[in-house]
Amino acid sequence: MAEAAVQQSTTDARLASLTLPTGGWSEVARKQAEARLRKMGLPERRDEYWRYTRPETLTQAIAVPAALFNNDETPIFGEIDRLSIVFVDGVFDAEASDDLSLEGVSIERLANATSDLHWARDLYGTLEEKGQTPVPRPLAALNTAYATDGILIHVTGKISKPISLQYFHQSETSDAILHHVIRVDAGAEVTLLENGPAAARFNKVMEVDIADTGVFHHVRAQGRDHERRAATHIFARLGAESTFKSFTLTANGVMTRNECVIELTGDDAIAHVAGACVGDGDFHHDDTVFVTHDAVNCESRQVFKKVLRNGATGVFQGKILVQPGAQKTDGYQISQSLLLDDDSQFLAKPELEIYADDVACSHGSTSGAIDEGALFYLRSRGIPEGPATDLLTLAFLAEAVEEIENEDLREEITGRLAAWLERHRS
Amino acid sequence: MLSIKNLHVKLEEEDKEILKGVDLEIEAGKVHAIMGPNGSGKSTLSYVLSGKDGYEVTEGTATLEGEDVLEMEPEERAAAGLFLAFQYPVEIPGVGNMTFLRTAVNAQRKARGEEEMSAADFLKLIRARAKDLKIDADMLKRPVNVGFSGGEKKRNEIMQMAMLEPKMCILDETDSGLDVDAMKLVAEGVNALRNAGRGFLVITHYQRLLDHIKPDYVHIMADGKIVKTGGPELALEVENNGYGDILAEVA
């Protein structure tokens, strides 16, 4: 009972620091989410999916301040022709953003969307709510209830350029909650980019509903601020013959929890979720993924690679659930860490739960060091130890990065990883 | 070119001496072959010269054009002009053969204070070298040695040698695992690189490689020492009579 009391007080304290937005079409969904959250309570260390990641800094009433980071790199995706939407410490910046009108898509701010947007009203909070079973995700319910802003994207055609969400962290004490809703219509296609540390503490939910034959690509770079903390959720629902591909690059960050909850509801759909993270020292990165196959002949891939050094910690919790009747499922899951010293650690919990008899599911998880034989071979050809180690490390990360379909984006991500490795040589 | 004097080497992990005073002088323009029974220390010599971990030099010296190679990092030895063709070339998944070689060529050039080779020049050169060794474009693109046959791996070693143009080439049992045709191809690759400025040390078990790569000198190594030195006829003697007679003779 003592633990329940602590959980109750943590939840009360956190909610006391927030104000539930009222009015507009999202009010009902927000109230329901708040009730959901109160019922389940914020995460505690004893919760099954929080054993490897301490939730305290993500749940406490006031965010731990995070020093601003002087990033001397040119901004990522800067060379890509895109429609840019800017948030500064969680607040939409209209001046810095592009005009939101673009052929084949309608884009609105959540904070502005007072008019009755049927498609958004029908979606807001619904995928998040569905994603609470069987594993509760209280931070996502908190987000649905209390999000102060976000972007609503309705994709109706094939869009000519990516939509790019750029986040900037300019206040050491900012505590941002953003909720994005994306609907991809049948036959429509969009690429969504995200980059930057959004705030000292960032809670983000993205709900993605992809209709039959719709295509959604997502490439995200979480920013290099060392002290920032982030808890993010993606909830995706896939119709028949649709495609969902999401890749995340994480370099630095004292606390990152990225959850991805995917439901394949239509036959012949494809869902890939991948991540490459690199951490040096005070770094904790957690990928928690849940893929549900609930249709025939769907393919899912989870590819996560982590490079850890100087006491950095990586966590992977990945599940494939194959529902009864989801025959011909092709499920793949791999989580690997490259530990560049003895102080770092990788904690992995791969899970398969299968209720159909004609499926192919494979999973693997490994933890290893640089291959000394390969390193010597490279050095014996004249490549110094630092660059040789980088080359082998990039090779290790390649399987995850190759999940990005677009070549320009793939090269951009590889370049960032190479630059990070060069800065973090021993 | 390469001067080895009284070289004593033991394993780092255990107190076991492998090389017990090797003396060897390899001049520019000459091909020296080392033959010897299993466990005589031939491969250890090649690893120690190229800088592999796990060995400790307890006595003696090895210099390349007067520079102490034993003090250098492996990459410095390479930049100084030393090349080892591996007995077992290492597979490196995820690193393209071409990327690897271009990085290596330019790293060596940088270490020597030379300008990097342009992408176009590199491509031209590697295509020509690959053609000589019947290495197709697909093999250049694939990850280093991954999925290569034994013969392809050895040809890849010789192509690397041709691209890096070292002063001193050490070939460690390059003939092992090769059929007759592949051996000829590899030998042609090596012969094409023979010139007045370059030294070769060819380590082999069998005489047959030396039919194709004609040595100037043949050394017999046994129990960590060079016990006999002669001309090409010494290799024939080994082929006909085995090591027994020679070892009995020097004992």
Give me the percent of chain A exceeding a pLDDT of 90: 93
Chain B nearest-CA distance from A342, in A, is 19
Full DSSP string of B34-101: EE--TTSSHHHHHHHHHT-TTEEEEEEEEEETTEEGGGS-HHHHHHHTEEEE-SSPPPEEEEEHHHHH
Q: How many CA atoms lie within 13 A of B144 on its CB side?
A: 27
Mean predicted confidence (pLDDT) in B119-132: 92
Of A55 and B138, more confident: A55
Q: What is the ipTM of this complex?
A: 0.96
Of the candidates A382, A392, A395, the beta carbon closest to that of B107 is on A382
Mean predicted confidence (pLDDT) in B72-92: 96
Put simply, the answer to whether B95 touches A392 (Cβ < 8 Å) is: yes
In this predicted structure, the answer to whether residue A7 has a pLDDT above a threshold of 80 is no
Chain B residues with CB-CB distance to A383 below 8 A: 75, 103-104, 107
Mean pLDDT of chain B: 93
Q: How do residues A352-369 score in pLDDT, each as one tens digit?
A: 999 999 999 999 999 999
pTM of the model: 0.94
Chain B nearest-CA distance from A299, in A, is 24
Full DSSP string of A106-123: EEEETTT--S--HHHHHH
Chain B residues with CB-CB distance to A399 below 8 A: 94
Q: Helices (H) and strands (E) in chain A — how many of each?
A: 9, 19
Of A7 and A70, more confident: A70
Residues of B with CB under 8 A from a CB of A: 50-53, 73-75, 77-79, 83-84, 86, 89-95, 99-101, 103-105, 107-108, 111, 143-144, 160, 164
Instruction: Report the range of poorest mean pLDDT among A2-11, A342-351, B227-236.
Output: A2-11
Q: How do residues A285-303 score in pLDDT, each as one tens digit?
A: 999 999 999 999 999 999 9
Q: Which domains does chain B carry?
A: 1-83+194-209+224-240 (3.40.50.300), 90-165 (no CATH)
Residue A368 Cα distances to A305, A343, A396, angstroms: 11, 13, 10
Reported as a pLDDT band with limits 50, 70 and 90, residue A155 is: very high
Instruction: Report the range of poorest mean pLDDT among A416-420, B181-185, B224-228.
Output: B181-185
A370 touches chain B (CB under 8 A): no
Put simply, the answer to whether A382 touches B53 (Cβ < 8 Å) is: no
Tokens of A415: 């370049």
In this predicted structure, the answer to whether residue B227 has a pLDDT above a threshold of 80 is yes
Reported as a pLDDT band with limits 50, 70 and 90, residue A114 is: low
Interatomic CA distance for residues A398 and A396, integer angstroms: 6
Residue B196 Cα distances to A263, B28, B29, B200, B215, angstroms: 69, 6, 4, 11, 14
C-beta separation of A208 from A182 below 8 A: yes
B199-203 and B31-35 strand pairing: parallel
pLDDT for residue A337: 98
In this predicted structure, the answer to whether residue A167 has a pLDDT above a threshold of 80 is yes
Q: How do residues A115-125 score in pLDDT, each as one tens digit?
A: 778 899 999 99
Tokens of B72: 């250098």
C-beta separation of A282 from A308 below 8 A: no
Residues forming beta bridges with residue A12, ordered by sequence position? none
Chain B residues with CB-CB distance to A391 below 8 A: 95, 99-100, 103
Q: How do residues B15-36 score in pLDDT, each as one tens digit?
A: 899 999 999 999 999 999 999 9
CB contact set of A398 (below 8 Å; sequence gap of 6+): B94
Put simply, the answer to whether A384 touches B89 (Cβ < 8 Å) is: no
pLDDT for residue A23: 84
Strand, helix or coil at B218? strand
Interface of A with B in 31-60 (CB under 8 A): none
Closest by CA to B230, choosing from B242, B211, B215, is: B215
Interatomic CA distance for residues A59 and A47, integer angstroms: 14
Interface of A with B in 144-173 (CB under 8 A): none
Q: How do residues B62-77 score in pLDDT, each as one tens digit?
A: 999 999 999 999 999 9
In this predicted structure, the answer to whether residue B240 has a pLDDT above a threshold of 70 is yes
Residue A352 Cα distances to A238, A259, A322, B65, angstroms: 20, 17, 8, 61
Q: Indicate the burial class of B93 (C-beta count within 10 angstroms; 0-12, 13-18, 19 or more).
A: middle
Mean pLDDT of chain A: 95
Put simply, the answer to whether B103 touches A392 (Cβ < 8 Å) is: no
Interatomic CA distance for residues A21 and A10, integer angstroms: 21
In this predicted structure, the answer to whether residue A1 has a pLDDT above a threshold of 60 is no
pLDDT for residue A77: 95
Residues forming beta bridges with residue A191, ordered by sequence position? A217
Residues forming beta bridges with residue B222, ordered by sequence position? B225
A299-309 and A270-280 strand pairing: parallel
Q: How do residues B90-125 score in pLDDT, each as one tens digit?
A: 999 999 999 999 999 999 999 999 999 999 999 999
Mean predicted confidence (pLDDT) in A133-143: 97
Ordered by start, the domain boundaries in chain A are: 2-370
Residues in chain A: 426
pLDDT for residue A270: 98
C-beta separation of A167 from A151 below 8 A: no
